[in-house]
C-alpha cells in the first residue's frame, strides 16, 4: 500500500469481517454502561453518550498528553461493543480531527460526547445535560 490511509481502511475492513460473528459479552456491556449511555433504533443504529464525568476525564487526558489517534480511540472507542468500537475507531482515524471539536464542546459545557453509529459508519457530536440520554 502506498498510503497509510489505505492501509488503515484495509485493516478496518479486515477487522470488521473478523468481528461480524462476535457477540458482545456481559463484561463489555457492564464496562460500557459505566462510561456510556446507549440509545438504539436498531441492532446496527445506536448513539452512545459518553457520560459527562468520562467526557471531562478524556478531555483532560488528551489536553495533557496530546491528541492522537491511538489515545483517542483507546480512551473513547475501546469500551464500546466490538462492531461499534471498530466503527468509532475507524471514524477517529479517518480523519480523526473531526472528533476533537465535539469532545471539547461537550467537556466545556459539562455535557456528553456522542458517537452516532449506523454500522459501519460512525459520526461524532456533543449534547448538553438537557438531553435525557446525557446523565
**Grid coordinates standing for 130?**
438537557
d(CA 40, CA 42): 5
Residue 47's DSSP bridge partners are 39, 116
pLDDT of residue 1: 40
**Alpha-carbon span 24 to 14, nearest angstrom:** 19
Q: Is the pLDDT at 8 greater than 70, yes or no?
A: no
For residues 111 and 134, is the Cβ–Cβ distance under 8 A? yes
pLDDT digits (tens, 9 = 90+) for 96-122: 567 888 988 999 999 999 999 999 889
Taking only the tens place, the pLDDT of each residue in 75-103 is: 888 888 888 988 988 888 776 567 888 98
Residues 122, 88 contacting (CB under 8 angstroms)? yes
DSSP3 helix / strand / coil % (the chain, rounded to 5): 55, 20, 25
Amino acid at each position: 500500500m502506498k498510503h497509510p490511509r489505505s492501509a488503515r481502511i484495509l485493516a478496518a475492513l479486515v477487522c470488521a469481517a473478523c468481528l461480524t460473528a462476535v457477540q458482545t459479552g456481559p463484561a463489555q456491556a457492564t464496562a460500557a454502561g459505566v462510561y456510556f449511555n446507549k440509545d438504539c433504533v436498531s441492532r446496527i443504529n445506536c448513539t452512545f453518550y459518553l457520560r459527562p464525568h468520562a467526557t471531562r476525564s478524556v478531555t483532560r487526558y488528551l489536553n495533557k498528553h496530546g491528541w492522537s489517534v491511538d489515545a483517542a480511540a483507546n480512551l473513547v472507542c475501546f469500551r464500546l461493543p466490538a462492531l461499534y468500537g471498530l466503527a468509532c475507531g475507524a471514524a477517529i482515524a479517518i480523519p480523526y480531527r473531526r472528533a476533537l471539536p465535539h469532545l471539547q464542546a461537550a467537556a466545556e459545557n459539562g455535557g456528553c460526547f456522542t458517537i452516532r453509529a449506523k454500522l459501519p459508519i460512525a459520526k461524532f457530536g456533543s449534547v448538553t445535560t438537557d438531553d435525557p440520554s446525557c446523565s
